[in-house]
Amino acid sequence: MIKEPVFIDANIIIHAASFRQADVFDWINSLYGQVLIHVEVLNELKTSSVRDKVDAFINNGTWVLFDPESEASIATDDLYDLYLVYLTEVRLAFQQLDEKKIREGRPLKHTSDLGEIHSLAAARLISAGLICSDDADIREVINDAELYIVNQEEQEILIRQHTFMDFCIHLKRYEVVKRSQIRKFFKTIRPHDLIVLDQHIDEI
């Protein structure tokens, strides 16, 4: 089990909900010891059955809701002000990535990135070093903008991202699920990348 806190993104939740042959949410909870979800990500879940499932996890304490308007998440005004600073910085980092893509002739995404922006700002605030998201821009934003947190050893480290593929590789690495089940799940979501998964799934 990965014990450090991880912010989960809507795309991973939607992938999990779409697979009917196994309970992927059980896999998530077996792999990650502390799952956090930002209220902005929660609000992106438009399918009632998915929203109900996540609400149940929050209500029974399996997942932790991060709501910047709640004192349970941000205890003081000073911390809230710092959160707003981080939010501005991360939002700017995504804008700068779009500008870089235009300069390089790369295609732009046509989504808001709101959940990812808020999750990264929250991760910086509470020093959560991991975000599980299938957003291809996140790793580039983290590296370009140098989004650091301070870990328990008082070291500055970059926030890490688990993509959908990383998530599947870690399921195998931590022996959460059998290889065949992981491949079946991956194939339903990303059939064209199955060869790439097979190249990396047994890495230690």
Question: How would DSSP label each residue in 89-138?
Answer: HHHHHHHHHHHHHHHHTPPPP-S--HHHHHHHHHHHHHT--EEE---TTH
**Does the structure show a pLDDT above 90 at 66?**
yes
The average pLDDT across 104-120 equals 88
Which one, of 100, 109, 81, lies nearest residue 143 by Cα?
100
Which one, of 9, 12, 13, lies nearest residue 37 by Cα?
9
| Residue 70, number of CB atoms within 10 A of its CB | 11
Share of the chain above pLDDT 70, in %: 100
Residue 113 binned pLDDT confidence (cut-offs 50, 70, 90) = confident
In terms of residue numbers, what domain contains 67?
2-200
The average pLDDT across 39-61 equals 96
Tokens of 96: 């700068």
**Does the structure show a pLDDT above 90 at 204?**
no
Tokens of 142: 């983290």
- Domain of 141, CATH number, reads 3.40.50.1010
Quote the number of domains for the chain.
Answer: 1
Residue 111 binned pLDDT confidence (cut-offs 50, 70, 90) = confident
C-alpha 90/C-alpha 109 separation (Å) is: 16
pTM of the model: 0.94
The average pLDDT across 172-191 equals 97
Contacts of 15 (CB under 8 A, 6+ apart): 24, 134, 164, 189
Mean pLDDT of the chain: 95
**Does the structure show a pLDDT above 90 at 109?**
no
User: Maximum CA pair distance of the chain?
Assistant: 49
pLDDT score, position 176: 97
160-172 pLDDT, tens digit each: 999 999 999 999 9
